[in-house]
Amino acid sequence: MCVLIICNIIIFVLCMVGNVLVCVVVAKNRNMKNVTNYFIVNLAVSDLFMGGFCMPFTMLDNLKGGWMFGEVMCKVQPMAQGVAMCASVFTLVAIAVDRYLAVMAPTDERLSSKVCAIVIAVIWASSIGIMAPIVPMMVYKDYGKVQTCSEGWETWENRRAYTTSLLVLCFALPLLVIATLYTRAAAQLYLSSVRRNRQQSRNRAGLGNKIRVFKMMAVVVILFTLLYLPLHVLTMVIDFGDLDDVEKRPFYTYAFPISHWLVFFHTCVNPFVYALLNRNFRNGFRAAFLNDRSASQACSCCLVRMQRRRPKRTQHVKTPDLSKTRRISNERSPMPAMLHRTTAAQAGGLTRAVRPASLILTTAVIESPPGPGFTTSSPLSTSASPLSHKKKMKSISNARYTVPSHVPFLMVTSV
């Protein structure tokens, strides 16, 4: 009993603190206000309802061995616990549908906030509708020293039918839908990841975010299945096992308290999953426990880290095709005809050589010395320096090209 009390108190505190932090983090961060996080907040609310309202009554009932809260709470508490359980599993289905649409149809319109609010209202209304028949069936009896609260169905067939319907509607069928959607989404994510590795897709960050959210929600669903399964199995054993009161006593004394503890443990485990597998929730939780200056520094450091991890886009520079350019030779090729014609046509101004568009050329301008005119005997060379060209220009001899005096002459010196 001492171990059970300590464990339940720890779970109660973690449930309250963790789920409240989830709601606060989503409410305070503008970039986290999306449909998936709204459903996560709804899941946190159902966990708060289960842990804060249902857990104390169930724990004291298991420890004392009798019902001590009166007739009204005898009818309200089982319904509230069932509503919280149904709301949790239905919210997981809604998250699975949202994740499936995000992976399979990323270019289509996603669920809006209005549609999300309608879905959440339908989740809670359907949960209340499913658990409503249990209210009139709960019977409170006072035997003086011992008070009991149990289901009082007219026949065992009716009780078994209702138990089976709860198992199908609130556990088996939702998990089957979730498993189907996540399996198809996982296959699509695997194909997209393989295609990305082959083609180096530009949308690498978006695909990585989808994979991380998918992994997080898959872990949440697996934990929900493992922690809620023992309670459903025990309920089916009690209803379909044809056991007498002596054989049922160990189940009520040991098995049901442990199964209820596992259900309540689920109410506090989801915030830890979010903190481990989601960077935004992790930073939000860290900022909630720090002061404003430390929180701002943590957020800035996180932003710098995300910028460093962001893949850099490589720019491919096209190499110029030098084979299409005209080579100027020192031995055989004379001055280019284009330069000759331009020089002859513009005898009184600056002469420019036409450059290829794909080349970056280094030019040098040499002004001719004063005088009536001078000639050059050697053509331009692509490998010669400006000093060597100046020396060559000083050697006056009979040549083909005549440059008037005081005309700036443009020479291509290197590529």
Which secondary-structure segment (H or E) carries 141? strand 138-142
More confident residue, 25 or 285: 25
* 181 vs 303 pLDDT, higher one: 181
**CA angle, 310 as apex, 308 and 316 as ends, to 5°?**
110
User: What does the pLDDT read at residue 383?
Assistant: 43
Whether residue 297 lies inside any domain: the answer is: no
* 147 and 240 part of one domain: yes
Q: What is the pLDDT of residue 44?
A: 94
Average pLDDT for residues 62-85, to the nearest whole number? 87
- Interval 348-402: pLDDT, tens: 444 444 444 443 433 344 444 444 444 444 444 444 444 444 444 444 444 444 4
Q: Is the pLDDT of residue 346 over 50?
A: no
Residue 239 corresponds to which tokens in the numbers above?
């209803």
The predicted-structure confidence for 258-276, as pLDDT tens digits, reads as follows 898 898 898 899 888 888 8
pLDDT classification of 87: cutoffs 50, 70, 90: very high
Convert 349-379 to b/e letters by CB count within 10 Å (16 or more is b): eebeeeeeeeeeeeeeeeebeeeeebebebb
Domain limits for position 410: 336-414
Torsional sign, CA 96, 97, 99, 104: positive
Same domain, 162 and 236: yes
DSSP calls for 364-382: EEEEPPSSS-EEESS---S
Q: Is residue 402 part of a domain?
A: yes
**What pLDDT score was predicted for residue 104?**
81
Task: Verify that 143 and 254 share a domain, yes or no.
Answer: yes
DSSP 242: -
Instruction: Please name the amino acid found at residue 99.
Output: R
Q: Answer yes or no: is 347 within a domain.
A: yes
Residue 353 contacts residue 378 (beta carbons within 8 Å)? no
350 lies in some domain: yes
pLDDT computed for residue 320 by the predictor: 54
The pLDDT of residue 251 is 87
Q: Are 61 and 146 in contact (CB under 8 A)?
A: no
Structural domain ending residue among the three candidates 243, 262, 277: 277
Name beta bridge partners: 141: 148
The answer to whether residue 115 sits within a structural domain is yes
Residues 268 and 407 in one domain: no
Same domain, 265 and 342: no
- Which of 277, 293, 319 is where one domain is finished? 277
For the stretch 123-142, pLDDT in tens is: 999 999 999 999 999 999 88
- Residue 342 makes CB contacts below 8 A (sequence gap 6+) with 351, 352, 353
Residues 216 and 345 in one domain: no
Residues 249 and 365 in one domain: no
CA dist 31 and 218 (Å) reads 23
Contacts of 274 (CB under 8 A, 6+ apart): 22, 40, 216, 281, 282
Residue 89 belongs to domain with CATH number:
1.20.1070.10
Listed in sequence order, the DSSP H helices in 50-155 are 55-64, 70-104, 113-131, 134-137
Q: What span, in angstroms and rounded, lies between the C-alpha atoms of 193 and 208?
A: 9
Would you say residue 23 lies in a domain?
Answer: yes
pLDDT category at 17 given cuts 50, 70, 90 is: very high
Q: Which of 142, 102, 2, 131 is nearest to 59 (CA)?
A: 2
Per-residue tokens: 399: 């040549």
Mapping DSSP to helix (H, G, I), strand (E, B) and coil, where does residue 142 land? Answer: strand
Q: Are 174 and 93 in contact (CB under 8 A)?
A: yes
- Structural domains of the chain, count: 2
Name the domain boundary from 245, 277, 309.
277
What pLDDT was estimated at residue 347? 45
- How far are the Cα atoms of 48, 105, 155, 160, 253 from residue 204, in angstroms, in the given order? 36, 17, 60, 51, 54
Q: Determine the distance from the C-alpha atom of residue 320 to the mean position of all C-alpha atoms in its chain, rounded to a whole number.
A: 42
The pLDDT assigned to 102 comes to: 82
Q: Based on the domain organization, do 373 and 254 belong to the same domain? A: no
How far is residue 154 from each of residues 77, 241, 248, measured CA to CA in Å?
21, 18, 20
What lies within 8 Å, CB to CB, of 309 at 6+ separation is none
Whether 243 and 355 share a structural domain:
no
Residue range 100-114: mean pLDDT, rounded: 76
Q: What are phi and psi of 338, to 5 degrees?
A: -65, -45
Is the pLDDT reported for residue 68 higher than 50? yes
Q: At 232, which helix (H) or strand (E)?
A: helix 204-240
Average pLDDT estimate for 403-414: 49
Spatial distance between the Cα atoms of 235 and 27, rounded to a whole number of angstroms: 38
pLDDT tens digit sequence for 155-194: 888 999 999 999 999 999 999 999 898 888 888 877 776 6
- SS3 annotation, 282-296: HHHHHHHCCCHHHHH
Q: How far apart are CA 373 and CA 345, in angstroms?
A: 16
- CA 111 and chain centroid, separation: 16
Q: Model confidence over 205-229: pLDDT tens digits?
A: 555 666 777 788 888 889 999 999 9
pLDDT at site 386: 46
- Band the pLDDT of 247: cuts 50, 70, 90: confident
Residues 251, 373: one domain? Answer: no
As a whole number of Å, the CA-based R_g of the chain is: 40
Q: Name the least confident of 29-43, 137-151, 365-379.
A: 365-379
Q: Which residues contact 260 (CB under 8 A, 6 or more apart)?
A: 58, 59, 62, 231
259 and 367 together in one domain: no
Q: Do the domain assignments include residue 300?
A: no
Across the chain, what does the average pLDDT equal?
74
In a domain, 324, yes or no: no
